[in-house]
Structure 1
């Protein structure tokens, strides 16, 4: 386990990416979310590894992304913040009623993060759909609950982020990771 690898997870549209962006601007090493980048690449190239087309292929691409992010994070000094992590793939697959492949389970068991995982609760006041975030508000809430279940079942301790400004959330995280 790498105690210096910190995950921010939650449902879509709960402010994770904005928060990770601010933490990066404040000098922390941060690993961006793969889902949005994968969707953009697949749409641009006419691919089908999309959450609304081929969920299994999408999960496979997320696994590749997260494995590369984990490896890249090892090169960083000090704390590293991830916009989602390997356990999110488990939550995504379970949410969609798909089997979790042994390769995914092996990865989440071997490549561990800090025990404390920050989770952004569903926040209706800031939730917005866009080209990549097509989930309804109800689907966003259910996704949040799936992440709670996945991380808890994998032995992580969840720390709920406050419904506060991005800068207040960043200060909340920095105070808990000693950055």
Structure 2
């Protein structure tokens, strides 16, 4: 039986990575976000910020990578696989930044579907930027709204994860997944 694919998403600096890392420490299978690796790969090729230089190429690489992750997740012998972001995230970011894109992005979102989507809210107290995250907090708020709209557009009912400690948030997610 194929595992259920559980997406954990949210705007920048909402605690996704901390939760996914904690899930992984518990021995549960996780698929990690790939945008940083795409950014670092581009830097090795002399492109400082691919998202800014060629946003459509960046989004295509994300989509290709997330489709690959979708198939990898399907092969994991487990009841659930937790995924740091999903395909509708790509479209959400493009919509948020008014990028034009072709039907292939929409088809990917419609073809490769997930079993549950947990959405983490913007949280000013934990918000931080770094070398790969350049959005300010106001942009993070807008991204959150775009993420929710994108997942809803593709038929998902997002489950809102309340603010709290990593352990509290993780407990919320795991309880919802079991029910």
TM-score class, shorter: over 0.9
Partner of 1:86: 87
CA apart distance, 1:164: 0.6
TM (norm. structure 1) is 0.93
CA deviations 1:39-92 (Å, max 9, x no partner) are 122123313672221110110110111011101101112101110000101101
Q: Which runs of 5 or more residues in structure 1 are unaligned?
A: none
Answer with 28-37 or 127-136: which moved more. Answer: 28-37
The structure in which a higher percent of residues are helix is 2
Partner of 2:113: 112
Partner of 1:63: 63
Partner of 1:42: 42
Answer with 48-57 or 62-71: which moved more. Answer: 48-57
Residue 79 of structure 2 aligns to a residue whose secondary structure is: coil
Task: Map 1:19-168 onto structure 2 (within 5 A).
Answer: 19-47=19-47, 50-76=50-76, 77-114=78-115, 116-168=116-168
**Alpha-carbon contact 1:3-1:113 (below 8 Å) kept:** no
Residue 52 of structure 1 aligns to a residue whose secondary structure is: helix
Q: Paired residues, what number?
A: 177
CA apart distance, 1:3: 7.3
What CA distance in whole angstroms lies between the structure 1 residues aligned with 2:14 and 2:65?
Answer: 21
Tell me the C-alpha RMSD between the 2 structures. 1.6
CA deviations 1:115-156 (Å, max 9, x no partner) are x31001000000000000111111111111110110111110
CA deviations 1:99-125 (Å, max 9, x no partner) are 2321111111111101x3100100000
Structure 1 residue runs of 4 or more that deviate by more than 6 Å after TM superposition = none
Residue 91 of structure 1 aligns to a residue whose secondary structure is: helix
CA apart distance, 1:162: 1.0
Q: Which runs of 5 or more residues in structure 2 are unaligned?
A: none
Residue 132 of structure 2 aligns to a residue whose secondary structure is: coil
